[in-house]
């Protein structure tokens, strides 16, 4: 008579991974707020400076079309055709908003990298499948597999079928 192995306890992610994913989620919320604040600063700059969308877009990370959509979103009237705009120097508030946006972008990238590294560490040390880890992340199993490849995490087991190409 064969004896059955006792079932494994359910997988619980490590505190390190939970903390990294929580920090990423919080950073995404802060990033979204900074983005909206920067978009509002662009609209205010368009309204106050009386410059064209193209002229203001030169000072932003966005295209002229995106600046135009921001103007539409915030109901900024279009520049009067034929009227010569005054010389343009970005306002300090506008420059500060753009600097804050760049800092938020950098911070989000750092948190994203830290979360991906935490997931890779979890895969490396926990001994559970990518699917089980993926269930505790905001990503799909395919993304977790990509993270494992990116950080050179070895698979749980060796391939059982030998390739004829070897």
Provide the 8-state DSSP code for 135. T
What average pLDDT is seen over the chain? 90
Residue 23 domain-assigned?
yes
**Number of domains comprising the chain:** 1
Mean local confidence (pLDDT), 90-112:
95
What is the C-alpha to C-alpha distance for residues 103 and 27, in angstroms, rounded to an integer?
12
Is 101 inside a domain boundary? yes
Q: Tens digits of per-residue pLDDT, 6-62? A: 887 888 999 999 999 999 999 999 999 999 999 999 999 999 988 889 999 999 999
So what's the pLDDT on residue 163? 66
Q: Is residue 130 part of a domain?
A: yes
DSSP state of 155: P
When pLDDT is averaged across residues 57-71 and rounded to a whole number, the result is 94
- Cα-based distances in Å from 23 to 15, 66, 69, 112, 136: 12, 29, 31, 9, 14
Give a yes or no: residue 64 inside a domain.
yes
* Structural domain span for residue 145: 15-81+90-150
Query: Which pLDDT value is given to residue 2?
Result: 67
Tell me if 115 is assigned to some domain: yes
d(CA 48, CA 29): 29
Does residue 158 sit within a domain? no
Residue 3 lies in a domain: no
Between CA 106 and CA 30 the distance in angstroms is: 12
| 95 vs 155, higher pLDDT | 95
Is residue 50 within 8 A of residue 86, CB to CB? The reply is yes
């Amino acid at each position: 008579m064969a004896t059955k192995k006792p079932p494994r306890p359910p997988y619980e992610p490590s505190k390190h991974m939970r903390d990294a994913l929580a920090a990423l989620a919080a950073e995404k919320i802060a990033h979204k707020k900074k983005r909206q604040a920067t978009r509002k600063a662009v609209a205010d700059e368009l309204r106050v400076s009386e410059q064209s969308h193209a002229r203001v877009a030169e000072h932003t990370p966005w295209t002229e079309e995106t600046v135009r959509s921001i103007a539409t979103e915030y109901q900024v009237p279009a520049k009067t055709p034929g009227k010569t705009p005054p010389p343009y120097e970005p306002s300090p508030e506008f420059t500060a908003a753009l600097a804050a946006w760049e800092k938020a972008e950098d911070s989000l990238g750092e948190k994203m990298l830290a979360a991906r590294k935490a997931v890779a560490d979890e895969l490396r040390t926990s001994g559970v499948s990518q699917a089980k880890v993926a269930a505790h992340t905001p990503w799909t199993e395919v993304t977790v597999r990509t993270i494992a490849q990116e950080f050179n995490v070895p698979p749980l087991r060796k391939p059982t079928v030998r390739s004829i190409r070897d």
